[in-house]
Structures are given as structure tokens and as C-alpha cells.
Structure 1
Amino acid sequence: MKSDEVGVHRKLEIQELKEIINEAFESSHIYKDKTKAFHDKYLSRITFEIGQKVLLYDSRLKWFFGKLRSRCVGLFIVTNVFDRGAIEIKSNKTGKVFKVNGHRLKVFYEGFQEKDMEVDSLERPDYIE
């Protein structure tokens, strides 16, 4: 082969390699879009309302935090909901008002209300001795 033919052949090989790389990039981009759409389909969007009770996630790095300890602090009340996920909350203890990202908040669920119920005695029945 002549040197000109070798140069042309080498340029064709490089061009084929670039096409393969571009196809791989496009297919990985399509795969990522599909997996993101699948993941986002199963996410539950939390909407906050004014007057709702929430807990604030404590994002500070703590060493030896404790496996079963709650990472949420305080009890706050939502005072305002802004666009783009910003929430204004007010502390029950101090009365301070500040803005936080909505992803740092969890809805506070109050326990079941106890009702007056008759309690049966836990005595042994007569037939068991």
C-alpha cells in the first residue's frame, strides 16, 4: 500500500470510531432519560399547606449520631409556601420565622386521639383454674 492509501484508510477508521462513540453516547443518554422518568413516576410529591405541623431534618454532620435516634428536630408550623419549593416555617418554642427548602421538611403526624373506652378486667375466667 502506498502511504496515501494508508492515510486515507486510517482516517476512515478514526471516523468509524467517532461514529461508534457518538452512538454509545446517544444510547446512554436515552437510557438515563428513561430511568429518570421511571424513577420520577414513583416519587410522591409532598405539598405543604399553611398551618400544617412539620419537622425539620437536621443536616449537620454528626459523628456517632446513633442508629435509632431521630434526625429531625423541633415542631414547626408552616406560615408561607413559596414557589420553587421554599417553605417559611415558624418555631413553636422560640417563635422565630425562617425559610427552608421543602426537601428538608417532614409532615408531623399526631398520634391517635384516645377515647374513653371501657376496660375489661383481666381476671381469670371461672372455668380456668
Structure 2
Amino acid sequence: MDIDEAGLQRKLKLNELEEIRNEAYDSAMIYKDNAKTFHDRMIKKKDFVVGQKVLLFHSRLKLFPGKLRSRWLGPFVITHIFPSGAIRIKGIKIDKEFTVNGHRLKPYYENFVEPNVEETSLIEPKASEFLEIV
């Protein structure tokens, strides 16, 4: 085997390896773009208004979570909404005001009362009861 021919073969293999590497890089970029668009589609837009009551996600609880412990703090009242998505909230019990990311908040629904609901028995009436009704 000639040294020049071996060198040429080696250069061809290196070029081929570089092409494979570039294709893998391109396909990884396409995959990441698709994953990002899918993730962005699944994010629900939260619309808050000033004066609305919200709950704040307690992110430090992830380290030592209690089984039945709530991960939400609050309620808080929104005092200012920034265009960047940050929201200034104020505690109801504590008179402290601070700014948080809007993704860490969710609406607080207080005193949720179900409307009057008519109850219906699923047990079939006996024949004698049916005759009394009719």
C-alpha cells in the first residue's frame, strides 16, 4: 500500500466523519426546536389583574417536601404588573410587598360555593311507591 494513497484515504475518512458530525448537529438542532415549540404550546397563558388574589409557589419546599404539606403560600394581592411578566404582590396577613415571576403564581378562589343541586336517588322505587307517585 502506498503512503500517499493511505494519506488520501485518511483525509477522505476524516471529511466523511466531519460530514456525519455536521448532520448530527443539524438534526439535534431540529429536535431541540421541535421540543421547544411543543413545550411552548403546552404552556397556558395566565392573565392577572391588579387587585386579584393569588397563591405563590413555594419553590424551597422541593428539598424537604412534606407528604401533605401544601406547596402554595398565600393568599397575596397583586399590586403591580410589569410588562416583562414580573408581578409585585403584597401579603394579606403580612404588610410586606415583593416582586416575583408570574409563572410562580396561580389564581386564588375563595369561598367556592356550588349552586343548589337537585339530588336524585339512583335506587328504583318499588311498585307500591310507584303507584303512589302516579
Question: TM-score interval w.r.t. the shorter chain?
Answer: 0.7 to 0.9
Residue of structure 2 in register with 1:72 after alignment: 72
Partners in 2 of 1:39 and 1:116 — Cα distance?
A: 40
Residue of structure 1 in register with 2:5 after alignment: 5
Partners in 2 of 1:91 and 1:12 — Cα distance?
A: 68
Per-residue deviation, 1:28: 1.5
Per-residue deviation, 1:100: 0.9
SS in 2 for 1:30: helix
Higher helix share: 2
Partners in 2 of 1:55 and 1:105 — Cα distance?
A: 6
Residue of structure 2 in register with 1:108 after alignment: 108
Moved more, 17-26 or 64-73: 64-73
Partners in 2 of 1:116 and 1:19 — Cα distance?
A: 69
Residue of structure 1 in register with 2:43 after alignment: 43
Give unpaired runs (5+ residues) of structure 2: 118-128, 130-134
Aligned positions of 1:89-104 closer than 5 A: 89-104=89-104
Per-residue deviation, 1:107: 1.2
- Report the TM-score, using the length of structure 1 for normalisation: 0.80
Tell me the amino acid that sits aligned with residue 8 of structure 2: V
Give unpaired runs (5+ residues) of structure 1: 118-126
Residue of structure 2 in register with 1:23 after alignment: 23
| Alpha carbons of structure 1 residues 115 and 3: separation in structure 2 relative to 1, 3 Å | closer
- Percent of matched pairs sharing the same residue: 54
What does the per-residue CA deviation read over 1:27-75, in whole Å, with 9 as the maximum and x for residues that have no partner? Answer: 1210121122122212211121101101111122466532222111121
Q: Is the 8 A contact 2:75 2:91 kept in 1?
A: yes
| Alpha carbons of structure 1 residues 20 and 71: separation in structure 2 relative to 1, 3 Å | same
1:54 aligns with 2:54: yes
